[in-house]
Homo-oligomer: A and B are copies of this chain.
Amino acid sequence: MTDSKKTFTYTLVVSCPDKVGIVAAVSRFVADRGGSLTESNHHTDVEQGWFFMRNVISANSLTVTLQEFREQFEPLAIENEMSWSLRDNSELQRVVLMASHASHCLADILHRWKSGDMACQIPCVISNHENLRSMVEWHGIPFHYVPVPKEDKVEAFARIAEIIERHRAQTIVLARYMQIVPPDLCRDYAGRLINIHHSFLPSFVGANPYLRAYERGVKLIGATCHYVTEDLDEGPIIEQDVIRVSHSCDKDDMVRLGRDVEQAVLSRGLRFHLEDRVIVRGNRTVVFNS
């Protein structure tokens, strides 16, 4: 499933109106340039008439450069009204992490990253609290403390936008960042701004999901990794999971058990995103994770 370990691969992602011959055209294009497919997934949404494809191409045997591939693919893409991307997997994405006071999601991502198990660059971490600075800096990553006072969030987010831009973030991860981010950030990073919500959406949108789960008496609690849109907790879902709870769990137990689900779901979702496995269409996602 991980491409990262296979050096010199490109990932080609395509979505377009479905029609006869699309797979043939794309795979012929790749084969004619000497590329072999080490991983290939397709999906046709029959109802909507839409086609989705992800190909991992072994670049070693390719007879063209990345730039040439792009230029030569463009006519095919235009002809078939494709949305498409081609990524050289040796160029790691720049991912800015944003956290608040809770450490578990951040610690999990940082540990995977340091172990070589999450293929990305992390140019910096931004937080509205100071308490995680030491952990972040131990990993050799710059830590930016940007408090977000209730009375002046606009300025705080202006600073944050400036930091994000300076570090040339390609993806932003809200690793239990407990602030609502402004609409323009949502728009600028549409499909690249990832949040973990501590409930099984669409249950318990908004604040205090564990308390509300406790009060409703549910027998499973969950977490949801999704792209952030301007509508709170309504963006396209990337990944979800749940864990069983019982009457013997009080609210604190739910919070504790939920942490494990949150960090697992966020890490899986982020991995899918970084490996270009996620394609958004409308408010739903195609996730090629096998």
Chain B residue numbers with a CB within 8 Å of A30 are 24
Q: Are B247 and A43 in contact (CB under 8 A)?
A: yes
Instruction: Tell me the chain A residues, 233-258 only, with Cβ under 8 Å from chain B.
Output: 236-242, 246-250, 252-253, 256
Q: Are B248 and A39 in contact (CB under 8 A)?
A: yes
Q: Are B203 and A216 in contact (CB under 8 A)?
A: no
Chain B residue numbers with a CB within 8 Å of A246 are 287, 290
**Interface residue from B44, B248, B249 paired with A37 (Cβ < 8 Å):** B44
Q: Are A24 and B31 in contact (CB under 8 A)?
A: yes
Instruction: Tell me the chain A residues, 104-129 only, with Cβ under 8 Å from chain B.
Output: 104, 107, 111, 115, 117
Q: How many copies of the chain does the oligomer comprise? A: 4
Q: What are 28 A-B interface contacts by the 8 Å CB criterion?
A: A1-B253, A20-B34, A20-B35, A21-B27, A23-B31, A24-B24, A24-B27, A24-B28, A28-B28, A37-B42, A38-B46, A40-B42, A41-B41, A45-B247, A46-B250, A103-B115, A104-B111, A201-B203, A201-B216, A201-B218, A202-B216, A215-B284, A217-B283, A219-B237, A220-B241, A246-B290, A247-B287, A264-B264
